[in-house]
Amino acid sequence: MIAAVNGHAYAGGLETVLVCDFAYAVSTARFALTEVTIGIMPGGGGTQTLPRIVGERRAKEIILTGRQFTAAQALEWGVLNRVCEPGTLMDAVTETARTICDNAPLSVRQARKAIHQGLQMDLRRGLMFEIEAYNRLVDTKDRREGVLAFNERRKPVFKGR
């Protein structure tokens, strides 16, 4: 999932951005977890996802103050992958999505799963999980097509099999 922020992402909006695979935003976008300013706290994953992305100290400052931050800060802190000028956001998101879609769907799925699940494990178990995910791709038609296309110097045609 790619978040495309074309305005403000406060409270649940920012929590939604944080659970996406990656995020793009326009340069004028603003972000905040404002819940403490109205007597509640983030309840959509913000206290868990934000510290994993920006670190504990910065997450505490963001959450406990409820202050907004800019797209440039979000990029610097790892909340965003890219900042785009207004009017170019969806072109950038679509280009990235197309690039991903041109890759082998089984490989994309396994790599995404290995990253996500591996981060929930210690490094040793994460590496073992990665090998298991890799081995699931060895006998696929897409892997054979990818190798053949590479050897024939052409673009592969993946079928998701």
- Assigned token pair, 134: 């890799």
Cα–Cα distance between 71 and 29 in angstroms, integer? Answer: 5
Query: Which pTM does this prediction carry?
Result: 0.86
Domains and CATH numbers, the chain: 2-99 (3.90.226.10), 104-151 (1.10.12.10)
* 161 residues of the chain, pLDDT tens digit each: 999 999 999 999 999 999 999 999 999 999 999 999 999 999 999 999 999 999 999 999 999 999 999 999 999 999 999 999 999 999 999 999 999 999 999 999 999 999 999 989 999 999 999 999 999 999 999 999 999 999 999 999 999 89
Cα–Cα distance between 57 and 50 in angstroms, integer? Answer: 10
Residues annotated as catalytic are 15, 35
State whether residue 4 is helix, strand or coil. strand
